[in-house]
Amino acid sequence: MEQRYFQPDLETMPREELTKLQSKRLVEQVHHVYNNVKFYHDRMDEAGVNPEDIRGIEDLHLLPFITKTDLRDQYPFGMLGVPLKDVVRLQATSGTTGKRVVAYYTKEDLSNWEDCTARAFVAGGVSNEDIVHICFGYGLFSGGLGYHGGAHKVGALTMPMSTGNTDRQLQFLIDMGATAICCTPSYAITLGEAVRDRGLKDQLKLRHGFFGAEPWTEEMRKDIESLLGLKSHDVYGLTEMSGPGVSFECEEQNGMHIQEDHYIPEIINPATGEVLPEGQVGELVFTVLTKKAFPLIRYRTRDLCKLDYSPCPCGRTGVRMSKVLGRADDMLIVKGVNVFPSQIESVLIDQGYSDYYQIVVDRLNSKDTIEVIAEMTPAQAAQGKPLQVRQAELVIGLQNMLGIKVNVKVAEPETIPRSEGKAVRIIDKRKLYGGV
Ligand code: DLL
């Protein structure tokens, strides 16, 4: 019989028991950080909180938040919770700006992380009979090695392909008969388009796909599933928490179960820090309960989403987070107006454009300009509608959504550069000369 859960007792633990486990682990973790990390000792003292004040998760709100800036300030070893000799691995965030954040793991931290990605694989139908093709980057980025550890734990044949060289990726996918694939959703589309263009779909044996590391839409899901002929699962995570596998979609494909025996989620108002009620969109904050080398308490992820505590038919009890709906720090202020890239994306998708687009913000003669480059799908291009008409429709759609005038360029199919890592969709040139 197909295995449904990797660790059934933990994944289907009734809420009451889960809360008790979280409370016990939180109390231990708070003592651990207070006694072993000077940064936390000082922060808690400043906030007037004693480890004894934290008796369970109901007291979590007493603890101060921490941010990426705190982690950067503590670079390289300031957040370490164990002696360096007990650390066996490090990974680093994939950010392209500022100092990278380096996260550390003990042997046990790695094993817990592998359990998390193994749970994601099993939820998506992977067993020791599968062949898992991993084309996330191996190295400092947590994607490759994170998935790798989980696939090993499940006992699948694990192919450490890493990124790049689409021809080689396709050859291995076909020759080895890979049944599962893991990569960014944008690379899945690139691979899928290559499969379509070369007529290779019949030679693929793929059944399961695990995608993440960047936002993707339901439209992208449909494209990926039909191009590669598989069922797709969204997997979320961040290096600071360990990497991929903090939450994952089960077979219902309806929200990502957070692995609450390891992570406590909260949703806050990013402007005030107030904890928001269930169902409201806000910034996701995580407390990691089990990681000892790099123990983060109330870490502000800057990812915007909402939580759903209603029961899931799959039987897992971990709360489900929605797709990431935006980044608290992606919000652009253009001509004094708050602009979320997700608003622009929804207009593009409504009008039938592809998932590839770019938003270029600049400042000319002290005035902000914003340009959206939308890429037509082959079907749109085949309609032969004049480009001026398309552009005018987009300008109106974007103006209605954002309340400001946006310049628009409509690009031919597949002309926006594809990336093997995370897609670059926002180019804010204003930062080049000193920021806004
Ligand atoms: O991207 C870890 C990862 C690797 C997750 C592979 C899933 C698959 P970082 O490089 O630290 O770690 O980037 C973390 O990426 O805060 C989100 O903004 C974004 N992100 C990650 N997964 C998703 C997802 C890895 N499924 C940052 N949907 C996070 C949307 C995601 N955004």
Query: pLDDT of 140-192, one tens digit each?
Result: 999 999 999 999 999 999 999 999 999 999 999 999 999 999 999 989 999 99
Separation of 237 CA from ligand 1 center, angstroms? 5
Nearest to 68 by CA among 271, 296, 272: 296
Q: Which residues pair with residue 243 across a beta bridge?
A: 238
Whether residue 77 contacts residue 84, with contact meaning beta carbons closer than 8 Å, is answered with: yes
Separation of 92 CA from ligand 1 center, angstroms? 12
Q: Which of 99, 119, 142, 426 for a ligand 1 pocket mutation test, highest count of atoms within 8 Å of Cβ?
A: 142
Indicate if the pLDDT at residue 367 is higher than 50. Answer: yes
Burial (CB < 10 A; 0-12, 13-18, 19+), residue 256, is buried
Separation of 143 CA from ligand 1 center, angstroms? 8
Identify the H or E element spanning 220. Answer: helix 218-228
DSSP sequence for 241-293: TTEEEEEEE-TT-SSEEE-TTTEEEEEE-TTT-PBPPTT--EEEEEEESS-SS
Separation of 384 CA from ligand 1 center, angstroms? 38
Count of CB atoms within 10 A of residue 177's CB? 14
Is any atom of ligand 1 closer than 6 Å to the C-beta of 380? no
Identify the H or E element spanning 42. Answer: helix 38-47
Indicate if the pLDDT at residue 92 is higher than 80. Answer: yes
Model confidence at 94, pLDDT cuts 50, 70, 90, reads: low
Q: Is the dihedral of CA 261, 126, 108, 243 positive or negative?
A: negative
**Closest ligand 1 atom number to CA of residue 210:** 8
Is any atom of ligand 1 closer than 6 Å to the C-beta of 137? no
Is any atom of ligand 1 closer than 6 Å to the C-beta of 301? yes
**Closest ligand 1 atom number to CA of residue 94:** 10
Q: Which pLDDT score is estimated for 1?
A: 54
Q: Which pLDDT score is estimated for 434?
A: 36
Model confidence at 432, pLDDT cuts 50, 70, 90, reads: very low
3-state helix, strand, coil in the chain (%, to 5): 35, 25, 40
Q: Which pLDDT score is estimated for 335?
A: 76
DSSP state of 22: H
Separation of 243 CA from ligand 1 center, angstroms? 8
Is any atom of ligand 1 closer than 6 Å to the C-beta of 94? yes
Separation of 107 CA from ligand 1 center, angstroms? 23
Between residues 365 and 255, the one the model is more confident about: 255
Whether residue 54 contacts residue 44, with contact meaning beta carbons closer than 8 Å, is answered with: no
Average confidence score pLDDT of the chain: 92
Q: Which pLDDT score is estimated for 431?
A: 58
Spell out the residues 6+ positions from residue 155 whose beta carbon is closer than 8 angstroms to its own: 127, 128
Separation of 390 CA from ligand 1 center, angstroms? 33
Calpha distance 370→255 (Å, rounded):
33
Q: Which pLDDT score is estimated for 95?
A: 57
In tens, the pLDDT along 372-425 reads 999 999 999 999 999 999 999 999 999 988 888 899 999 999 999 887 776 788
Question: By percentage, how much of the chain surpasses pLDDT 90?
Answer: 78
Indicate if the pLDDT at residue 98 is higher than 80. Answer: no
Indicate if the pLDDT at residue 293 is higher than 80. Answer: yes
**Closest ligand 1 atom number to CA of residue 239:** 11
**Closest ligand 1 atom number to CA of residue 243:** 2
Calpha distance 74→70 (Å, rounded):
6
Calpha distance 186→10 (Å, rounded):
32
Q: Which pLDDT score is estimated for 436?
A: 30
Buried b (16+ CB within 10 A) or exposed e, 388-420: eebeeebeebbeebbeeebebebbebbebeebb
In tens, the pLDDT along 213-223 reads 988 888 889 99
Nearest to 182 by CA among 202, 156, 200: 156
Between residues 326 and 397, the one the model is more confident about: 397
Spacing of C-alpha 149 from chain mean position: 18
In tens, the pLDDT along 278-292 reads 998 889 999 999 999
Separation of 244 CA from ligand 1 center, angstroms? 7
Question: Could you check whether the bond before residue 76 is cis, i.e. omega within 30 degrees of 0?
Answer: yes
| Tokens representing residue 39 in the block | 């940064």
Indicate if the pLDDT at residue 433 is higher than 50. Answer: no
In tens, the pLDDT along 4-35 reads 999 999 999 999 999 999 999 999 999 999 99
DSSP sequence for 146-167: HHHHHHHHHT-EEEE--S--HH
Strand 357-364, strand 337-339: pairing: unpaired
If DSSP codes are grouped into helix, strand and coil, which group holds residue 354?
Answer: coil
Calpha distance 190→225 (Å, rounded):
13
